[in-house]
Amino acid sequence: MTSTRWSRRRARKAVRRSLTRFEVRLRSACPGIGFTARITATVLTEPPYPSPVEEIAGTVRTTLRASANEVSKKCDPADLATARDVCGQHLAQLRQLPTDPPVEFTAELTLDLLPDDRAAVATLLTAQRRQAVTDILRLQKSDALAAELANPAALLARWIERDDADWNRLPEFAEKVNTAAEVFARHRPADERSVEHEAVEVLREFLASFPGHTQKRMLYTLLAAGMDSVQRPHHAARAQALANGHAAAEPEGAS
């Protein structure tokens, strides 16, 4: 009996030594940059194990290395705190070796970046910031230009400002201005590509399809009534003001 207890104690100690703070190099979401980790596993199953202690410990290490790599390769090395949480929670799950009987174990880890990897992350972030500034400036310039050229008068002015503008072709170009301006008007900056902005565009096109002042006055009156019915008096008053504006714009004697 004493010999059996002694053997089990030796087995537990041997497994503990083999599974305490063993090192592993883990991939990250950025190719070429990796994490360094130290993993400590705890085997919950009491000896005797179905296989030799060395074999059990080796299989546990292999399993945990592969499992840690599966989650670390999705982690951003620039966000080390999140990577630690994600990998730590993943390894803390209860696992089993497919032995008979199964060997159960769990693990914890410490995660860090080696100096070379930290330097690589800093270089990458600097490049990303530089590229982000370039992209933002380019998009702002494109959005501002598209907004300007959505106005037919602005588009025509651009053409007239050209050094080689042929004034004899002005009537021909003027006929194409509205078509070109409509193309630019369909451009929307990223922050305006939402359902709400699309709804505003649909409403604008709907109202524009009724060119007569009387028609527009009727539409704005209906819109004001709808807003008032859902208890939005401020919006209803503004819509009614638009209706009154169209009423004032009607020629005298119009019906």
Which of 90, 113, 136 marks a domain boundary?
Answer: 113
SS3 annotation, 174-229: HHHHHHHHHHHHCCCCHHHCCHHHHHHHHHHHHHHCCCCHHHHHHHHHHHHHHHHH
Residue 12 lies in a domain: yes
Which domain, by its residues, includes 48? Answer: 2-113
Question: Exposed e or buried b for every residue in 187-197, given b needs 16+ CB within 10 A?
Answer: eeeeeeeeeee
Residue 237 lies in a domain: yes
Cis peptide bond upstream of 101, omega within 30: yes
Residue 186 lies in a domain: no
Backbone angles phi, psi at 38, to 5 degrees: -120, 125
What's the whole-model pTM score? 0.61
Predicted local distance difference test score (pLDDT) of residue 251? 53
Predicted local distance difference test score (pLDDT) of residue 173? 73
Predicted local distance difference test score (pLDDT) of residue 21? 95
- Residue 47, classed as helix, strand or coil, is coil
Residue 57 lies in a domain: yes
Residue 239 lies in a domain: yes
Which of 113, 131, 160 marks a domain boundary?
Answer: 113
Unique residue bearing structure tokens 């910031």? 129
Residue whose C-alpha is closest to residue 69's, from 36, 95, 20, 98: 36
- Residue 114, classed as helix, strand or coil, is coil
- Residue 134, classed as helix, strand or coil, is helix
Which of 79, 113, 147 marks a domain boundary?
Answer: 113
Given CA atoms 165, 170, 174, 179 in this order, what sign does their dihedral have?
A: negative
Residue 7 lies in a domain: yes
Predicted local distance difference test score (pLDDT) of residue 109? 96
Same domain, 11 and 103: yes
Predicted local distance difference test score (pLDDT) of residue 193? 61
Residue 240 lies in a domain: yes
Residue 176 lies in a domain: no
Given CA atoms 160, 162, 165, 169 in this order, what sign does their dihedral have?
A: negative
Domain count, the chain: 2
State the number of CA atoms in the 13 A half-sphere of 205 facing the CB.
8
Q: At a CB cut-off of 8 Å and minimum separation 6, what does 121 contact?
A: 30, 33, 77, 78, 113
Q: What is the enclosing helix (H) or strand (E) of 235?
A: helix 233-249
Q: Render each residue's pLDDT in the chain as its tens digit; 255 residues.
A: 466 777 888 888 999 999 999 999 999 999 999 999 999 999 999 888 899 999 999 999 999 999 999 999 999 999 999 999 999 999 999 999 999 999 999 999 999 999 999 999 999 999 999 999 999 999 889 888 888 888 888 878 887 787 777 777 777 777 787 778 777 777 666 666 667 767 777 777 787 888 777 888 888 888 888 888 888 888 888 888 887 775 555 555 444
